[in-house]
Amino acid sequence: MKISLTDQNTAPVELDERIDARATRERYDLEREKRLRTDGVHQYSRLTDEFAELADDPWMPVVEREPVFDHVQFTFIGGGFAGLCAGAQLHKQGITDVRIIDGAGDFGGVWYWNRYPGAMCDTKSVVYMPLLDETGHIPTEKWVHGPELLEHAKRIGTQFDLYRKALFHTMATTVTWDEGHSRWIVETDRGDRFTTQFLGIGLGPLSVPKLPGIPGIEKFAGKSIHTARWDYSYTGGDAAGAPMEGLRDKRVGVVGTGATALQLIPEVAKYAKELFVFQRTPSTVAARNNGPLEAEAIELLSSGNGQERLLESFSVNWDGFIGQPAPGIEVEDLVNDGWTDLGRRMRAQIHSVPPEEFSMEAMMAAVGELDLMLMEERRNRIDEIVTDPKTAESLKPWYDLFCKRPGYHDEYLESFNRPNVHLVDTDGKGVSEITEAGAVVDGEEYPLDVIIYASGFEYGTGGSEYVKRAGFDLIGRDGTDLSEAWADGMETLHGMHVHGFPNMFIIQLFQGSFLGANVTQANNYAAQNLAAVVAQVLAEGNDEVEVSKEAQDAYVAMLLEFGQPFGRPDCTPGYYNDDGQPFGRSFQLNCGYPAGTVAFIKMIEQWCADKEFPELERRKSTNA
Ligand code: NDP
């Protein structure tokens, strides 16, 4: 069956009569059942205990330094794109006494740590790389590779003078509100104890690597690598793509077939003597069509404010899926990547329902038909590329497209045609055991020299889990710990302001713009918001700002009534849906602004332009 939706004109589709919707959905349920586990997210473990050395910084030695005891106006915990955008936006507002601290040895966050071969951005560079208009950088590829992203992070750090006060290889341990002095006291694992009037936190949604809970995982006598801490001293090669000569005589196992594995496997396949890919759930893999950045994009970016237009185009076109249908808001798709393509299609599908017949059920049915077609198209692509019919069959995903992060790659499926690459289909059960010699599936042991864990990161941990993931205690006014305040789920205004925690701003995805496909764009909007509030507080001559309890409660009540977490409980388990567990209040609150990203951005723009911030109480220090 050949079904193709690859035409550029996005028009609503009707279900192809060759697709048996009922049988397909029954297959989805069957596959989901195979993957359900009672331990949900607790099946995973961290890089601790016997795996602690996997978490060490492979990129830069930790250098001894004197502890710091001073005062800065703004401290941001996290040196990835959230912190960098915050630093840049504060700089634009004239606030330059800024310190960023990070456990890594430099700026870059996820791109500092994740230097596995093949790493590249997953959203088009022209919208993924923040502050292109400000820095003048023009990406080299449609989806640039890791080294260019890391360089860009450093570029922002240099341009906005963020290195001057930065503290790297430094983890906050306790951060305490100093009542009466309108400031936070920051203590770190390097013996620092400094104060800061304002505090920002941006830890990234996927910053804590996790290992699969496979029995015996600690027994393996060969080399273990997590993709977030690649070891080129073992594999040879480098992040820029030099050959991994160290793998030429190795039997390599890769556990995991998510977004990371899609990028990694084609590279490992080129060098490993034998590569065994242990698959629990296949990813969807559409064509990426990467290559040099298009001339039109270069021209647009050369104009000086081209990225602003690209970002607007991206969010309006993508938001057609996340947000409510918005007829009348049409913006030309200048980005044309997989996300905007899906967004346009979803929206066309939703708008195809006649207004007089419109209901949630009718909308879901229309989108469901499109989904069946898109998934069939992806399964067909596998048959077209993968030559061994059994391998092709095993690689086919059976779930709704957005049950997992939609994947794109130009070489992943092709890798399985190499004679040295073997797919080990665990039929939804995963690797059953790791022994001293290798991995066991269905009673068969696969001897290995190295096991690469492409097993992902902790995610969706709002509520008290956020604090566990952050790794430090945040003690607010009245001695309340953030984990106590969020014991029953994350409670904020706009995903950023928390009652009881004055002068503190969190940059993260939930309860705000929630741009699932483009985290950095969401970061930069949040950073603009944060900088506007701080500038206003200072301009008024105030010392403190804090969201009122009433405003926060009203916002949370609205989220509980209308918010939708990204995942669906009936999907195949994964990090989008709390690994298939029933959603509690805490997971429910891991949602975006219910009216969608575009509506959120417009609301915040107006909020900042008005400069009134009625939900935020401002006051002078009681010690002033
Ligand atoms: P994922 O959580 O998406 O994937 C983890 C993989 O490990 C899954 O295939 C999972 O299987 C598998 N796994 C877990 N336990 C076992 C087991 N016991 N046996 C066998 N397999 C197992 O992590 P990724 O690192 O791939 O991606 C996480 C996210 O990071 C992405 O969704 C994306 O948002 C982001 N990312 C972004 C990139 C970019 O922008 N360039 C690149 C890479 C990642 P199962 O599916 O069955 O749970």
261 in ligand 1 pocket by Cβ < 6 Å? yes
574 C-alpha to center of ligand 1: Å? 8
Please give the residue that has the higher pLDDT: either 542 or 599.
Answer: 542
| 186-221: pLDDT as tens digits | 999 999 999 999 999 998 877 788 899 899 999 999
How is residue 335 annotated by DSSP?
S
Identify which of 410, 441, 510 has the alpha carbon closest to the alpha carbon of residue 469: 510
* pLDDT surpassing 50 at residue 1: no
430 in ligand 1 pocket by Cβ < 6 Å? yes
168 C-alpha to center of ligand 1: Å? 28
439 in ligand 1 pocket by Cβ < 6 Å? no
259 C-alpha to center of ligand 1: Å? 6
> How far is 300 from 298, CA to CA, in rounded Å?
5
Least confident of 259-268, 369-378, 578-587: 578-587
In the numeric block, which tokens belong to residue 394?
């095993």
145 in ligand 1 pocket by Cβ < 6 Å? no
pLDDT value of position 457: 85
212 in ligand 1 pocket by Cβ < 6 Å? yes
pLDDT value of position 99: 98
Q: What is the mean pLDDT of residues 144-163?
A: 98
Mutate to test the pocket of ligand 1, among 125, 220, 257, 576 (most ligand atoms within 8 A of CB): 257
120 in ligand 1 pocket by Cβ < 6 Å? yes
605 C-alpha to center of ligand 1: Å? 34
State the average pLDDT for the chain.
Answer: 91
Identify which of 224, 278, 254, 269 has the alpha carbon closest to the alpha carbon of residue 444: 278
- Count of C-beta atoms within a 10 Å radius of residue 621: 15
pLDDT value of position 583: 80
pLDDT value of position 515: 64
Query: pLDDT band for position 605 (50/70/90)?
Result: very high
pLDDT value of position 300: 95
Q: What is the mean pLDDT of residues 316-339?
A: 71
Q: Which structural domains are found in the chain, ordered by start?
A: 85-107+162-208+459-553+591-619 (3.50.50.60)
Contact 160, 38 (CB under 8 A): no
516 in ligand 1 pocket by Cβ < 6 Å? no
> How far is 402 from 149, CA to CA, in rounded Å?
26
255 in ligand 1 pocket by Cβ < 6 Å? yes
67 C-alpha to center of ligand 1: Å? 38
401 C-alpha to center of ligand 1: Å? 15
536 in ligand 1 pocket by Cβ < 6 Å? no
405 in ligand 1 pocket by Cβ < 6 Å? yes
* pLDDT surpassing 90 at residue 471: no
* pLDDT surpassing 60 at residue 153: yes
575 in ligand 1 pocket by Cβ < 6 Å? yes
Identify which of 234, 189, 229 has the alpha carbon closest to the alpha carbon of residue 207: 229
* pLDDT surpassing 60 at residue 321: no
Query: pLDDT band for position 344 (50/70/90)?
Result: confident
One-letter identity of residue 610: D
280 C-alpha to center of ligand 1: Å? 10
Which ligand 1 atom is the nearest neighbour of the CA of 428? 47
How is residue 282 annotated by DSSP?
P
SS3 457: strand
pLDDT value of position 421: 98
pLDDT value of position 346: 86
For 99, half-sphere exposure in the C-beta direction (CA atoms, 13 angstrom radius) is 21
Contact 541, 482 (CB under 8 A): no
Indicate the pTM of the whole model.
Answer: 0.94
Contact 569, 602 (CB under 8 A): no
* pLDDT surpassing 80 at residue 9: no
Q: What is the mean pLDDT of residues 604-617?
A: 95
386 C-alpha to center of ligand 1: Å? 22
Which ligand 1 atom is the nearest neighbour of the CA of 143? 41
SS3 505: strand
| 403-443: pLDDT as tens digits | 999 999 999 999 999 999 999 999 999 999 999 999 999 99
Q: What is the mean pLDDT of residues 487-515?
A: 93
For atom 28 of ligand 1, the residue with the nearest CA is: 456
Share above pLDDT 70 across residues of the chain, in percent, rounded to a whole number? 95
pLDDT value of position 12: 74
Query: pLDDT band for position 327 (50/70/90)?
Result: low
The answer for residues whose C-beta is within 8 angstroms of residue 41's C-beta and 6 or more apart is 458, 460, 575, 578, 579, 581
Least confident of 273-282, 299-308, 555-564, 594-603: 594-603
204 in ligand 1 pocket by Cβ < 6 Å? no
Query: pLDDT band for position 460 (50/70/90)?
Result: low
| 246-275: pLDDT as tens digits | 999 999 999 999 999 999 999 999 999 999
* pLDDT surpassing 70 at residue 517: no
User: Mapped to the 3 state alphabet, what secondary structure does 195-218 carry?
Assistant: EEEEEEECCCCCCCEEECCCCCHH
For atom 5 of ligand 1, the residue with the nearest CA is: 455
CA 485 remoteness from chain centre: 25
Least confident of 83-92, 105-114, 291-300, 344-353: 344-353
The answer for residues whose C-beta is within 8 angstroms of residue 9's C-beta and 6 or more apart is none
Q: How far is CA 290 from CA 243, 296, 381, in A?
A: 21, 15, 17
262 C-alpha to center of ligand 1: Å? 9
Q: What is the DSSP string of 160-208?
A: TT-STT-B-S--EEEEEEETTTTEEEEEETTS-EEEEEEEEE---TT-S
Identify which of 162, 147, 172, 318 has the alpha carbon closest to the alpha carbon of residue 239: 147
Q: What is the mean pLDDT of residues 373-395?
A: 97
For atom 33 of ligand 1, the residue with the nearest CA is: 259
Angle between helix axes 146-159 and 81-92 (nearest 10 degrees) is 30
115 in ligand 1 pocket by Cβ < 6 Å? no
* pLDDT surpassing 70 at residue 463: no
Please give the residue that has the higher pLDDT: either 124 or 13.
Answer: 124
C-alpha dihedral over 482, 487, 522, 352, to 10 degrees?
-160
535 in ligand 1 pocket by Cβ < 6 Å? no
Mutate to test the pocket of ligand 1, among 46, 290, 339, 405 (most ligand atoms within 8 A of CB): 405
For atom 12 of ligand 1, the residue with the nearest CA is: 256
